[in-house]
Copies of this chain bind each other. A is one copy, B any other.
Amino acid sequence: PALLDGPTIAEQDNLAKRESGVTDNSSMRLRMEAFIKEHQQLIVQALEKVDGNKFKVDSWQRPAGGGGITCVLQDGSVFEKAGVNTSVVYGTLPRAAIAKMRADHKALDPDVDSLQFFAAGLSLVLHPKNPMAPTVHLNYRYFETAQPDGSPAAWWFGGGSDLTPSYLFDEDAIHFHRHLKEACDAHDKGYYPRFKRWCDDYFNNRHRGESRGVGGIFFDDLDSADKDREQLFAFVRDCLGTFLPSYLPIINRRKDMPFTEDEKLWQQLRRGRYVEFNLVHDRGTAFGLNTPGSRVESILMSLPLTARWQYMHEPAKGSREERLLSVLRQPKEWV
């Protein structure tokens, strides 16, 4: 910023935190940061109870402001790999990036040369060892831009959560979606159907004509065109709050089920598909990997510990493996 500009939003936030901590009257930036860090702890503690092993915790700082906490549990007793990350980023958007964002956020002025931005999010991916237990993914994020003088320009929320089984238990898919639907319905009856469809649409391995998993919810760019900021923050809080009740009963009933060597192999092939989606299609991963200075190990913690690619593998007719594929090719309504 030029000499006449006010303090950057990173400076404003640092000052506000030092002077008065974070309360309900703080800026949304500070409240979102506090919220995701609190839930990161809650989730990590709950998962450590399930697994019996501790997460490795890495904190890192970004020179331009912000930082993150990466929590990873690798080769545990229940989880092959579990990552629960928060990140808070302050930075500057160049003109080209602003032009792109305008497609979804008309409030952005296309005539400024650069904008300050803030992004905070919690991301989680759990890959269990037992092939009967599904992988789960979750991400909730808040984005804000500011004029050079620090005044707000635009903001939005995004996020969602989705389930990726190797072996499909309908009761698990129903349980998972029921919790998400409840969280959505409390805020807007239109949300669940809209965000379920968005999820099926987004997590799709188009080159294979299959969904990555059995769905969940996904949304992006929710801003004042949709609801006011307090309402959307309350919605995101409820979505994240429903994660543990939506997943813990599932992992608890699957983690010790017996399985065969062939079932483990099938899980490994499905892990390969997970890698394909994340590396070929996921916009968040691509954005991260193409951002100079990003923390690659935190981005790629979403990949499973092990994966397999077998040429021309075809599940047997009438098998459980074949049924999963048919559901992935034609997403189902679970609730």
A binding-site residues for B, Cβ under 8 Å: 56, 58, 72, 74, 81, 83, 207-208, 268, 272, 275-276, 279-280, 286, 289-290, 294, 296-297, 300-301, 303-312
- A311-B207 CB under 8 A given contacts A272-B303, A289-B280: no
A-B contact pairs, 29 of them (CB 8 A): A58-B312, A72-B312, A74-B310, A81-B309, A81-B311, A207-B290, A207-B294, A207-B296, A208-B296, A268-B306, A275-B275, A275-B279, A275-B307, A276-B279, A279-B279, A279-B280, A280-B280, A280-B286, A280-B289, A297-B311, A300-B309, A301-B311, A303-B309, A304-B309, A305-B310, A306-B306, A306-B308, A306-B309, A307-B309
| Complex contact A207–B289 (CB within 8 A) | yes
Residues of B near A309 (CB, < 8 A) are 81, 300, 303-307
Sort A-B residue pairs by CB-CB distance and give the 5 closest, nearest first: A279-B279, A207-B289, A303-B309, A72-B311, A306-B308
Smallest Cβ-Cβ distance to A302: which chain B residue = B309
Copies in the complex: 2
| Chain B nearest CB, measured from A203 CB (Å) | 16
CA–CA, A232 and B305, complex, Å: 44
Residues of B near A297 (CB, < 8 A) are 311-312
| Chain B nearest CB, measured from A272 CB (Å) | 7
| Chain B nearest CB, measured from A69 CB (Å) | 14
CA–CA, A237 and B42, complex, Å: 62
| Complex contact A307–B307 (CB within 8 A) | yes
Residues of B near A275 (CB, < 8 A) are 275, 279, 307
Interface centre among A56, A268, A297 (most CB of B within 10 A): A297
Extra pairs beyond A58-B312, A275-B275, A280-B289 (6, CB < 8 Å): A56-B312, A207-B289, A280-B286, A305-B310, A306-B307, A307-B309
Smallest Cβ-Cβ distance to A296: which chain B residue = B207
CA–CA, A307 and B286, complex, Å: 20
| Complex contact A311–B208 (CB within 8 A) | no
| Complex contact A83–B303 (CB within 8 A) | no
CA–CA, A207 and B296, complex, Å: 7
CA–CA, A303 and B312, complex, Å: 13
| Chain B nearest CB, measured from A278 CB (Å) | 9
CA–CA, A75 and B268, complex, Å: 15
Residues of B near A312 (CB, < 8 A) are 56, 58, 72, 297
| Chain B nearest CB, measured from A326 CB (Å) | 18
Residues of B near A300 (CB, < 8 A) are 276, 309
Interface centre among A207, A268, A296, A303 (most CB of B within 10 A): A207
